[in-house]
Amino acid sequence: MAFSGAVAAGLAPDGGLFVPEALPDLSGKLAAWAGLGYPELCTQFLSHFATDIPADELGKLVATSYAVFDRPEIAPLLQLSADAHVLELFHGPTLAFKDIALQVLGNLYARQCAIRGETINVLGATSGDTGAAAIHGLMGRPGVAIFILYPDGRVSPLQERQMACTGAPNVHALAVSGSFDDAQAVLKQLFGDGAFRAGNRLSAVNSINIARILAQSVYYLHAWLRLSALERRTATFVVPTGNFGNVLAGWMLQKMGVPIHGFRVATNKNDILHRLFSTGEYRVGAVSPSLAPSMDIQVASNFERFLYYSLGRDPDRVRSVMEELASKGMYRFRDFDRDSFTSSRCEDVEIPGIIRQVHRAHGYVLDPHTACAFKDLGNGPSVILATASPAKFPDVIMGAIGIQATHPSLEALKARPLVRHKIVADAAPIRAFIESHAVT
């Protein structure tokens, strides 16, 4: 299937995830790409996958996507100390790293609608930031409706307002009973209903959409190219993650010939990924609400792509592992290959102290997710991914350092009415809601 078709479908017909047929070797391109700005670098990178989109059209699409960011660097790389760099990924319209991919995805959807002359209904589940970024990439676009499922009461108030206060008639924020994993399970069930999916022209906006992962690979490449020669050989990228998509994007780039030294998976107390990389066992547990809500996940959907590459690109072996995970809720890997991953776990009680410590040492304010990445930093250079603006979590910041973290776009939301639809985490009522509000 061509790139645009995979983007429009989101999820493969058999319920699996799309992956590129082959990963390109980019090692010979790196020297020439070192001086490129972010949009130009993104265009060059995506051209290896989006081969069905003319080069000039792809370049304009990417440039339009990043014109809405408030920093010309898109993803500025700051140096806090001799060994610690921070890669700021929150300068898009919803102040979170998801904007970097979802602005591109929104324009890809718009292009698809225009070319095919068809409408599209976009469905996503979110633990906080994905929903807002997806909505802001698609709100008001003709021929598109977007339905975002999020766990009721388990996202921050400002995250919810970014989803439910847009005023756009094509946006539907669905507050689902239960956890993010419950919402994600319903999403996969709906996509597994072929007739419903085709009849409503559904597409997935989660990081299960391959365009999301590929667009996120670019900020690793952009940052790596800006490190010194020594740092390029030795730096570890430290990534706050729950759904595994963020760090998978960097790991896939490494498999394309970019010699990144390693990755640290930074989890909060919902530590399924830390347990995996510590013990070789993937065991699903209960989700506990935390101060870092976007990481409150136990079923990491992008783990399936990691399996594919780790198991010799054998879809039958992947299917077998996924079936065992579904039936038993766990899988123990024999001779588990951690590759270049390490991991850490951060408790809620530690987060305010880390925020205080970094602010005291460097005058820098972390959001609670990025704070988790500062836990157990090792020796040697690190690039810590700052995944959200601290302004999205003002209560945590005020409690930690006594500073009122604000942003004008968030303050404006407080005066707008909250338009959300409370619904149980069950496929039948959500299916009915989508059918009654879908664009046709």
DSSP string, 91-160: -STTSBTHHHHHHHHHHHHHHHHHHHT--EEEEEE-SSHHHHHHHHHHTT-TTEEEEEEEETTSS-HHHH
* pLDDT at residue 188, as a whole number: 87
pLDDT greater than 90 at residue 326 = no
User: What integer is the mean pLDDT of 224-241?
Assistant: 96
* pLDDT at residue 206, as a whole number: 73
* pLDDT at residue 300, as a whole number: 82
User: What integer is the mean pLDDT of 234-242?
Assistant: 95
* pLDDT at residue 11, as a whole number: 82
- Read off the pLDDT of residues 253-276 as tens digits, 9 standing for 90 and up: 999 999 999 999 999 999 999 999
Q: What is the mean pLDDT of the chain?
A: 93
Burial class, 63, CB count within 10 angstroms (exposed 0-12 / middle 13-18 / buried 19+): middle
Q: Which of 287 and 29 is assigned the larger pLDDT? A: 29
How long is the chain? 440
| Highest mean pLDDT, choosing among 43-57, 111-125, 321-335, 402-416 | 43-57
Burial class, 49, CB count within 10 angstroms (exposed 0-12 / middle 13-18 / buried 19+): buried
Residue 392 confidence class, pLDDT cut points 50, 70, 90 = very high
* pLDDT at residue 96, as a whole number: 94
* pLDDT at residue 429, as a whole number: 97
Residue 437 confidence class, pLDDT cut points 50, 70, 90 = very high
Residue 292 confidence class, pLDDT cut points 50, 70, 90 = very high
In whole angstroms, what is the distance from residue 176 CA to residue 422 CA?
Answer: 6
Backbone angles phi, psi at 53, to 5 degrees: -110, 125
User: What integer is the mean pLDDT of 367-372?
Assistant: 97
* pLDDT at residue 80, as a whole number: 96
pLDDT greater than 80 at residue 70 = yes
Helices then strands, counting H and E runs in the chain, come out as 20, 13
User: What integer is the mean pLDDT of 238-250?
Assistant: 93
Above pLDDT 70, what percent of the chain?
A: 100
* Alpha-carbon 188 to chain mean position: 17
Residue 112 confidence class, pLDDT cut points 50, 70, 90 = confident
- Structural domains of the chain sorted by starting position, each given as residue range(s) with its CATH number in brackets: 77-95+215-406 (3.40.50.1100)
* pLDDT at residue 90, as a whole number: 97
pLDDT greater than 90 at residue 47 = yes
DSSP β-bridge partners for residue 237: 263, 383
Q: What angle do CA 59, 60, 65 make, to 5 degrees?
A: 100
In whole angstroms, what is the distance from residue 197 CA to residue 1 CA?
Answer: 18
In whole angstroms, what is the distance from residue 131 CA to residue 124 CA?
Answer: 7
Instruction: Extract the tokens encoding 400.
Output: 């930690």
Catalytically active residues, by annotation? 98
- Read off the pLDDT of residues 12-41 as tens digits, 9 standing for 90 and up: 888 788 999 999 999 999 999 999 999 999
| Pick from 88, 27, 22, 24: nearest CA to 232 | 27
* pLDDT at residue 280, as a whole number: 92
* pLDDT at residue 9, as a whole number: 85
